[in-house]
Amino acid sequence: MPPNARAAARKTLRVKQLIAERCARSGQVGAILWLTGLSGAGKSTLAMAPERALFDRGWNAYTIDGDNVRRGLTADAGLVCVTAFISPFDDDRGRARAMAGHRLFLEVCVKSELETREARDPKGLYGKARRGEIKGFTGIDSPYEEPSTPDLVIDTQHAGESARIAQLVSFVIERCGA
């Protein structure tokens, strides 16, 4: 098995382990209850009933609809939501920050050199982009605008995984602790 495939398999295993631990701690399994229908059909109103009923039973439940996504769903749920998106443009990140409104929005710039990213690439996307098989690939033939004033910068090239994790967790605890 190639090294990148082994890394992807280890990541998948870690995610599955975390999901199992989360389910064991909460006493429930995760699920998506997807209500569909046209605007005004009553989806959001209907969705609030099981959210309330499950919450009253001690379950972790949250209704996600267009309105609460636009106003910052995770802070409303009292959660720390960790996102991992390329989000290459400063304007897009600015819009995400603006949508958070008064809620805490922490921008973390995760950095490494191109050679390091290519070596870590379990899907071979950088190679495909270099061969022209993928057009508009961020970091190769599409730009990435580094944040000008991130709340935290983590250099994944010069710090080990456990040090990077500790740095991020300490940062979150410092900024989000009650």
Q: Residues 114-132: pLDDT tens digits?
A: 888 888 888 888 899 999 9
Answer whether 0.75 is exceeded by the pTM: no
Q: What is the pLDDT of residue 29?
A: 66
First to last CA, the chain: 45
Domain assignment present for residue 19? The answer is: no
Q: How many domains does the chain have?
A: 1
| Structural domain span for residue 123 | 79-178
Domain assignment present for residue 1? The answer is: no
CA nearest 66: which of 31, 40, 85? 40
Domain assignment present for residue 29? The answer is: no
Extract the tokens encoding 95. 């819009």
Domain assignment present for residue 68? The answer is: no
| 87 labelled catalytic | yes
- Amino acid identity of residue 85, one-letter, is F
Q: Which is catalytic among the residues 87, 148, 162, 170?
A: 87
For 37, left (φ over 0), alpha (ψ -120 to 50), or beta? Answer: left
pLDDT tens digit sequence for 48-63: 766 787 788 787 777 7
Pairwise CA distance, residues 161 & 26, whole Å: 27
Q: What is the pLDDT of residue 71?
A: 58
Domain assignment present for residue 115? The answer is: yes
Domain assignment present for residue 50? The answer is: no
Pairwise CA distance, residues 168 & 170, whole Å: 5
Specify the CATH number for the domain of residue 148: 3.40.50.300
Domain assignment present for residue 30? The answer is: no
Domain assignment present for residue 137? The answer is: yes
Q: Can you list the residues of the chain whose pLDDT is less than 50?
A: none
